[in-house]
Amino acid sequence: MPQMNMIQALNSAMDIMLGRDPNVVVLGEDVGYFGGVFRVTDGLQRKYGEHRVLDTPIAEGAIVGAAIGMGVNGLRPVAEVQFADYIYPACDQIFSELARLRYRSAGEFWAPVTIRTPCGGGIRGGQTHSQSPEGIFTHVCGIKVVMPSNPYDAKGLLIASIEDDDPVVFFEPKRIYNGPFDGDPNKPAVPWSTHPKGEVPDGYYTVPIGKAEVVRKGAQVTIVTYGTMVYVCEAAARSLGLDAEIIDVRTMVPLDVDTICTSVKKTGRCLIAHEATRFSGFGAELSATIQEECFWDLEAPIQRVAGWDTPYPHAFEWEYFPGPQRVAGGLKAVMETP
């Protein structure tokens, strides 16, 4: 089975779907001739032509608006917003039109649009290239929200998203595009795992939307996380020698409550970690859900580790980023509670 990083896996997913379904189109800023700012769409326009892989103006509202029109008329557009920080101009189209189209037309119309967008920090992008706004989109009824943490899931989930008849916002943690990292800003990207790439089948397969994954089994504490933070949490648990069970949420909407709560009921302790700001972050919804479902099984208060409630700083990126030391501190707190 070939080894791929996340960029290669995502590219493979779009390549397969463009080849399988003539209704699939890709559009966005620089996705065609240039191959995307992170080269995720590299080579697709050369292979499928300018009518299937379209370069667009720098206008996120227009990109998503055009994608909605395409979707209503039978196409399956994959729209790229170059950075998640730039998705806000498209929010009216996403929230007021795309998410509500099926409901407001009583099922007569729908638009199977997938919106891909790189998120998170770790590349010294500062406040306008490092945001993690996934929690905002989980609040909107009518759209699915996905964030993979590894190449295998990235390809399978993107194919599943493109085939889904509901709109999907697909977040891609850019810090692990080329493999996991060890969190040390003074060193180049070095994976905690010895294999920064992952085994990814060349052909077609899907990973189901709405299903979390237990990426590490354990009995002492449950860590619920997603994206880049899966690797941070693995490193933190190892540094403390904890028998931690780590749940990769993978899909925030729909949320796999059963997998999460089965783990928490087993361990009795829970830590939630994400890179986005803490206040009203998705971790708050996770915490509330776990508390409602697992209250009598909890042996300690649920802990949250997240980004600070400030803009993402350029000069102090690694102080902002919730790295292994901060996660380890949260784990100590949840384990020390009698």
- Distance between alpha carbon 68 and the CA centroid of its chain, in Å? 22
Q: Are 232 and 177 in contact (CB under 8 A)?
A: no
CA distances in angstroms from 168 to 47, 80, 164, listed in the order given: 25, 12, 8
Q: Are 275 and 229 in contact (CB under 8 A)?
A: yes
**Strand-pair partners of 146:** 170, 251
CB atoms within 10 A of CB 73: 10
**Strand-pair partners of 4:** 198
Give catalytic residue positions.
129
Q: CB-based burial of residue 262 (10 Å sphere; 0-12 exposed, 13-18 middle, 19+ buried)?
A: middle
Whole-angstrom Cα distance, residue 21 to residue 120? 31
Whole-angstrom Cα distance, residue 306 to residue 312? 12
Tokens of 169: 């916002």
Q: Are 135 and 101 in contact (CB under 8 A)?
A: no
Using CA of residue 327, residue 329, residue 335, residue 337, what is the dihedral sign?
negative
Residue 191, Ramachandran bin (φ over 0: left; ψ between -120 and 50: alpha; else beta): beta
